Amino acid sequence: MTYTKSEAFQTELKDVAKFAKVLSHPARLAILQHLSRCCTCKSGDIANELPLSRTTVSQHLQELKNLGLVKYETNGVTVCYEVDVEMLMQYKQVMDAFFNESLHELTCGCK
């Protein structure tokens, strides 16, 4: 049977890796921070606040949407974005579990 190497890893590890990959770009972190402060806004508003073009903001928003961290609502030709708090909390729990397990192993004599 042929499979990709990522299939050999637990789902939890793949979730951590996917989350970390999306958050690995400082622009995406800045967009999430901006959306957290504003609650909801348009991509043009984000581009006005960050040193990024509207096109670049849209590309990063797409990555955040694909992961489910950002949701949006279309109102005519206007698209408003906001952080999906439930998804952010779910990923926080996944990351907490990963770090808690790792720290537990390190502090319980795994040396």
| Residue 93 lies inside a defined structural domain of this protein | yes
Question: What pLDDT score does 29 carry?
Answer: 95
- Cβ distance 95 to 21 under 8 Å? no
| Residue 2 lies inside a defined structural domain of this protein | no
Q: Which one is predicted more confidently, 110 or 63?
A: 63
pLDDT band at 1 (very low <50, low <70, confident <90, very high): low
| Residue 1 lies inside a defined structural domain of this protein | no
Dihedral angle of Cα 46, 56, 62, 3, to the nearest 10 degrees:
-150
pLDDT, tens digit, for every residue of 53-99?
Answer: 999 999 999 999 999 999 999 988 889 999 999 999 999 998 888 88
Q: Which residues contact 97 (CB under 8 A, 6 or more apart)?
A: 12
**96: Cα separation from own chain's centroid:** 15
Question: What pLDDT score does 50 carry?
Answer: 93
Report the chain's mean pLDDT, rounded to a whole number. 87
pLDDT band at 43 (very low <50, low <70, confident <90, very high): confident
Q: Which residues contact 6 (CB under 8 A, 6 or more apart)?
A: 14
Give the Cα separation of 75 and 58 in Å (integer). Answer: 17
Residue 63 sits in a domain of what CATH number? 1.10.10.10
| Number of domains comprising the chain | 1
pLDDT band at 2 (very low <50, low <70, confident <90, very high): low
Q: Which residues contact 106 (CB under 8 A, 6 or more apart)?
A: none
